[in-house]
Each structure stands twice: as structure tokens, then as C-alpha cells.
Amino acid sequence: MDAQRLKENFAQVAQHGDAVALFFYSDLFLRNPHLRDMFPIGMSGQRDKLLRALGQIVSNVDDLGELVPFLQGLGRDHRKFGIIAEHYPHVGASLVATLRHYSGASWTPELEADWVAAYDVVSHVMLEAADQDGMAAPAWWSGEVVAVERRRFDIAVLRVRPDQPLPYAPGQSVAVELPQRLRHWRYLSMANAPRPDNTLDFHVRLVDGGAVSPVLVRSVQAGDRLRMGAAVGTLVLDESSHRDVLMVAGSTGLAPLKAILEQLAQRQTPPRTTLFFGARTRDALYDLPHLAELAGGHPWLTVVAAVSDEPGGGGFGMSFGSPFGAPEGYGPPGVPGSPVSFGASSWFGGPPSGASPGRPPGSASGRPPGQAPGQAASGDAASGHAAFGDTFGSAAAPVPSAPPRIEHGTLAEVVGRYGSWHGHDIYVCGPDAMVESTADRLLRDGVPRDRIRLESFAQR
């Protein structure tokens, strides 16, 4: 099996976009009409998931350390659809037919043999994981929504209590299905490390044209029911590493990184950790107050906020008032920490690892690179609410100090301005474009590729 040949062929096929998945499912259902009822009536979301999964598989086809855990997660996750071993050959036949069609004259017997061999590996790993999981876990978990907090018109935070414990690692995601949207599954990342009461927090952003997210953000109430698949994803903490940590979160891509933060907080000596949290506008920094509270209670944690689509200035302050306190053992309950100012910039909890107090990394003057003497740092912190804690009913007090300032620019730009990250383990999650641009910037700055862990597959 020639991995490079597979990558080049898939890049060629992928240029046809959504038509590839449309051809695949049309071929699959024409050959196997009995499979149609396993899928939703509207297939646009399912087609997107297929292309994203194929892209993830092909990009790691020569890296089994990354590929196998991803495939094992998919195998366990696909149990919720009722997929069994007899279905895999049908899928393989339609996949090869689709690739042959869009490859045109470049299709060769050798290329077909490569794809058949690759699919054999994929199906074997997925089936083996599904069989093993079937002996110990259900195909899906039912759960009850126990709390909802709507942060903005397009962002909500939900707490769900599964009927039985759902095993997962911080950083992973589950597919969620609602009674109002049967057979439509939306991947959501858990925003907390596993808890004794087994509850799960989800940060949900409304996706334009989505089938599930509008219901979750606008309509779901406490007491509603939903179903969840097995945990998937490889954006998990490297427990063997003792390096400092950099996290970069765009919008609700914060959720899995927040779960990893809780995991780090449980260590006797957590590594110095810098979290960049970005959005297009200041009011979209929906969890900034709670992040400030966490950093105020944990000297090893630094939070830097960034907005890309608004100019600096304006005196935009934070406001607290959530009915939810900080997680037990993770920050002073009900008492937000105060932002700590260092020179012309402000961070929560202390300067990023590698920076001296009073100056950003790479700056001898105490100003972010490119800032003129006497020029104010751009932006202010967004208003918002503290995130769900382990208990309900305690209102958070207002921050008693001046509102912190935030950086202006894309996350890739802001992370790049804050010095070198060569000695860090790096975790990046959020929208595709943000993940790609941030990873590219870090690679250009010389960060080893194997130090960067990414997640965008489960963010749709």
C-alpha cells in the first residue's frame, strides 16, 4: 500500500467537494436499499461527516499511532447506527466505485489495490473495536438535560446526566441525537473531566443550516431527553509528558480544552499552561469570566483572550451573574479571581510560560511586539457568565478590579506574537480555518509537528 499515492489521489478526488459524498451515498443506497432507513432523511450533514472522516483517515494513513485510536473510536461510535460486520463490504464497494469515478484517467489497478488494502485495515480496526465495546458497553447512552444556560443568541451551555456512566477521556466528544431530530447526530465535546455524579457539560454553538444545534441552543429545556454515542477523538492529554502546555481555543472549541484543564488541575504539580481563547467579537467570548476565575485560583494557568473582527479599545468590561458556581476543587467557589495586569498587557493568573512579569514573551519592553510606546493594548474583556460548576444556586460576585484588556487579531496572529512555543505540548481546537492557520503558524515557527494535537472533526 503506497500511502503517498493514496494521499495524492484523495486530494484530487476531494476537489469535487460535496459531490463525492453525494455519489457515494447514492451508489450505496442503490446497491443496498435496506440501508437507507439507517440514515436521516436530510443527508447534507452526513455527507459532510463522511468527507471529514475520510480526510482524517487519509491524512494519517502512514501514522498508525494517530490513525488506530481514531478508527477505534469510529468503530465504537458506529454501533449507535446499528452497523454490523455485514455492512462493511457494501460500504467498501461504494467507496471504491466513488473514488474510481472521480479519479478519471488517473485510476489504475495499482491505485485500486491500494484503496482496497487501506479499507481492509480500516474496517478490521473498526470492527474489532466495535466487537470489544459490545461486550462491555451499550450502543448508546440515554440521558436527561438537567440544566441549560443560554450565553448568547447562538451559544448555550448544557448539563446532561446519563442514565448510566459514559466513559470518556477529557478532550473527547460524543455524538448527540434528539427525539425532535431522529437519526441526526451532532458531535459535541465534553467540557469537563469525569465527575463522581457522571454529569457532562456541553458548549453548543448554533450552526447555520444545522439540524441539531438550533434545537439545542434555542429550544432544549431541563428535563428533556437525548441519546449519546460512544466517546471519540484523539485530542487527549499526553500523560507521559512533563512539558509546559499551550492551548488554543476558537469559540466552542474551548469545551474539550476546558476538560483537559480540569484534568491538569488534578495533578499534584500541574504544568505551566497558557490558554488562548478567541472569537470574532468580544461578546462571543462567552466563557471568559469563568476562565478568569479559574486562572485567579491557579497560579500555573494563564488565559489570553483575543478578538479578530473588532477594533481595540472601548472600555468593554466583564460582568458576572451566573447561577452556577465554579467546579468543586477548581477555583474558589463563588469568588472570581481578579485579573492580574503585567505592563501594557493583561493576563489572568500570571504571564504566559516563558514570559517575565510585566512583559510578553519575546518583548523586552513589556509591550506586545509591534505596540508603540504609550499605545494601549487593544480590546477589553467580554461580558459573560461563569461556566457550570458542580453545584447550582450560588451567584458569582463581580470582579472587584478594572476589566482586563484583550488582544486584537486572529488566534494564529496573537499566538505568534507571544513568543516561542517550542518547549510546549500544544492542543488546538475550533473551526477548521482557525485550526489550520494556527497549526501552520506554529509549524512555520519551528514547533515539531508531533507536539501539536488538533481537533476539528468533532466540532460540527
| Rounded Cα distance, 337 and 303, in Å | 12
Same domain, yes or no: 276 and 191: no
For residue 318, what pLDDT is reported? 33
Q: Which one-letter amino acid corresponds to residue 415? A: V
* Domain end point (choices 66, 99, 134): 134
Please state, in angstroms and rounded to a whole number, the distance separating the CA atoms of residues 161 and 213.
19
Q: Are residues 34 and 120 in the same domain?
A: yes
Q: Is the same domain home to 201 and 261?
A: no
- Residue 224, SS3? coil
pLDDT value, residue 17:
87
Q: Report the pLDDT value the prediction gives residue 82, as an integer from 0 to 100.
A: 80
Q: Could you tell me the pTM of the whole model? A: 0.69
Dihedral angle of Cα 85, 87, 90, 95, to the nearest 10 degrees: -90
Containing structural domain, residue 194: 141-228
- Output the domain CATH number for residue 258: 3.40.50.80
Element (H, E) at 105: none
181 and 106 share one domain: no
179 with 306, same domain: the answer is no
Per-residue pLDDT of the chain (460 residues; tens, 9 = 90+): 888 999 999 999 999 988 998 899 899 999 999 888 777 766 666 777 777 788 888 888 888 888 898 899 888 888 887 888 888 899 999 999 999 999 999 999 999 999 999 999 999 999 999 898 888 888 889 999 999 999 999 999 999 999 999 999 999 999 899 998 877 888 899 999 999 999 999 999 998 878 889 999 999 999 999 999 988 888 999 989 989 999 999 999 999 999 999 999 999 999 999 999 999 999 999 999 999 888 988 999 999 999 998 765 333 333 222 333 333 333 323 323 333 322 223 344 444 554 433 334 433 333 344 443 333 333 333 333 333 444 323 334 334 344 456 899 999 999 999 888 999 999 999 998 999 999 999 999 999 998 999 875 444 4
In a domain, 233, yes or no: no
Q: Do residues 277 and 347 make contact, with C-beta atoms less than 8 angstroms apart?
A: no
Residue that is last in its domain, among 134, 167, 186: 134
Looking at residue 54, its pLDDT comes to: 86
235 part of a folded domain: no
Q: Among 158, 285, 136, which residue's Cα sits nearest to residue 219?
A: 158
For residue 372, give every residue at least 6 positions away whose Cβ sits within 8 Å of its Cβ, in sequence order, or none. none
Q: 253 and 209, same structural domain?
A: no
| Same structural domain, 146 and 124 | no
- Cβ atoms of 220 and 145 within 8 Å: the answer is yes
Residue 43: per-residue pLDDT? 66
Q: 129 and 201: one domain?
A: no
Residue whose cell numbers read 506586545: 368
Q: Can you give the CATH number for the domain in which 89 is found?
A: 1.10.490.10
Q: What pLDDT does residue 391 have? A: 34
Angle between helices 44-59 and 18-31 (to 10 degrees): 110
Q: Tell me if 453 sits within 8 A of 426, measured CB to CB.
A: yes
* CA–CA separation, 329 and 421 (whole Å): 29
Report the distance separating Cα 249 and Cα 87, nearest Å. 37
- Nearest-5° Cα angle at 157, 175 to 430: 60
Give the per-residue pLDDT at 190: 97
